[in-house]
Amino acid sequence: MSFLSVFRIIALLEGVSYILLLFIATPIKYTLDNPQYVKLLGMPHGLLFIAYIATAMLLKSSLNWSSKKFNYVLLAAIVPFGTFYIDRKYLK
């Protein structure tokens, strides 16, 4: 398995965890006053976010990403559905 494949998996998992946290766990926390799902999803999402950023930094030179493209890859981690876009546009 290549390092790029590992990055794609991390990107997918990070994107899914962010969507679950943002659109399911957070509304449950504030509408039902139940923070359990945020606590459950928060740590894994945080670890996946850090792994995504670190792996992107390691891949930047080997994939010859320009600064602009690299910044898009980093920005995608904080935009909902951003990692899915990056996978489709830059990683396939």
Q: CA nearest 77: which of 19, 9, 15, 6?
A: 15
Q: Where residue 92 falls among pLDDT bands split at 50, 70, 90?
A: confident
pTM score, two decimals? Answer: 0.93
Angle among Cα 59, 85, 35 to the nearest 5 degrees reads 95
State the residue range of the domain holding 42: 3-91
Number of domains forming the structure of the chain: 1
Q: CA nearest 17: which of 44, 35, 40?
A: 44
Residues 8-56 pLDDT 10s: 999 999 999 999 999 999 999 999 999 999 999 999 999 999 999 999 9
Residue 1 has a pLDDT of: 84
